[in-house]
Structure 1
Amino acid sequence: MNGHKGEATFIYAGCTKDARKELWNRLINISQQMSSSWVVGGDFNCITSIAEKSGGRVPNLVKMNNFSDNIHRAGLFDLGFKGPAFTWKRGAIWERFDRMLVNDAWFNHFLLTFVTHLSLAGSDHRPILISISHPDLIIKLSLLQIKTAKALRKWSWETFGNVHAKVQEAENEVNRLEHEEQIDNVEEKELLTAQNNFLSDIEYQEKILKQKAAMNIFTDGDRNTVFYHAYIKYKRKCNTIHAIQNANGQWLHDNAEIANDAISYYKNLLNQEHHPRTPIERAQLSIIPEPPLSGHTFLLN
């Protein structure tokens, strides 16, 4: 797609422990040599959580944990799905045996990849549809986000200025006024005002330092780990909006339709005539029961 190529591996996992172990040893070996986009999908004959099963006996926790660990060791990520929750049925038992997994390189070129569970017919497994959308709209939204961030940084500097310098200036002013007060050359009110300004500037400084600390942890904490960057891409994929329901109750799946409906919604919202809330009458407050008297004793169990 768009000149980018990838690799695909299709799975039919065995039911025994040894068969699954051999399968994952081979997949992990392939993953260590794979540098291109890679998708792995099919019937894994296993689930990752209790939520992926309905009916029958409680699933084996060790088996589920091993499956999740193997996905992690192979550097793969579950693409999720749209549609019914389960892909396999036998009697009253439903399970999600079938799934599509991708490596981190897949997100570099095919971020908008969606998996749909189709109707169950003619087999005990649902067919799975994997579709890839064009990322042009997301790129445009990303550029808009960058422009917005730049504008906010400019506004912050023009509004608050150099917060660290302001703190130092406020502290110097407090020290100066304290010295003046000792020789009765300044009123106490002026000193209190300077102290309040000093505290406000310190509060702004603390907020900025906390934000920068969080950003540093996010950007520098695991800068050199491949898994860290892959996980960020995976979360970006998970946070992608697949569909929205418009005001008429219609579900929109096309990216352009979703964007246009979101813009239209907020335009209408911001252009609505403002209707102030009706003030609460004092008489309405009289129906609220009085709190218990402080002299009452309550028995706590």
Structure 2
Amino acid sequence: MDARNKLWNRLIHISQQVNSPWLVGGDFNCIISTFEKSGGRTPNRMLVNDAWFNHFLLTFVTHLSLAGSDHRPILISITSTDNYSSPLPFRYLNMWAAHPSYSNYIVDLWKGVSHPDPLVQLSLLQIKIAKALRGWSWNTFGNVNATVQKAEDEVKALENGGQLGIEEEKKLLIAQNNLLSVIDYQEKFLKQKATMNIFTDGDRNTRFFHAYIKYKRKCNTIQDIQNANGQWLHNNNDITNDVISTLRHEKAHFMAELNYTAGLKLTDIPTEKEIWNAINSIDNSKSTSPDGFTAEFYKKS
């Protein structure tokens, strides 16, 4: 146990001293859960730091079959993010509603679009608002993390400026209030991107949020799938075509759901109270459809 503690303490020390990307792997003789303790063996594993994921997010580890040893060989695959590049979909950020100018800005955006079909009108409004909010967000918030750093530097510069007179005290107070505001925006931004709902009040562990966001991005990436014939597909186009083909030929799997929903009278026009109750029942950070607008958008806009 002492030797193991020394090893982990040494790794912690190294991780704090090395800022560049690093990866280390092997038999650390430890398990995360009892599930990993299979057949008296502990799995080999790989450890990386934040800098590694910043450069090589799509790093995957495969434990190969046993061959002449009681340890499984480890295969590390580093996939270029270029293979997964695509236009970023619109995502409404709840921090926008906290800005003083948001309410007046969004009111004007709801105007100027009309269509006899209300669903089409809503869709056209969503397209218009999404495009406008992208530009407004960048002009108003910019890079959230960089804005926080800039505000912190401004406060430090004023605090280290020596003797403060009345005017300097006013400037420092304004800078501190601005820092608190941008920190609040950053917290809302990171919490939503991390898609986490439970936090300790006052928690501002941004490093944790960044790490969790990277973890979620990695988990949301499909590296390979096994098709109906047992063949593993690794190419993005092959995966896409197989999914489309499967859905086209498996309509029978959805018949039970179709029969159930047919009896729910979903074509009946809901009352305003029913609509409002449905919206309020949704978590603020959740989207009801792929359009990217969260429930908070409809509650506050």
Normalised by the size of structure 1, how large is the TM-score? Answer: 0.46
**Structure whose CA Rg is larger:** 1
* Greater relative contact order structure (CA < 8 Å, 6+ sep): 2
Which structure: greater strand fraction?
A: 1
Name whichever structure is richer in helix by fraction.
2
TM-score w.r.t. length of structure 2: 0.46
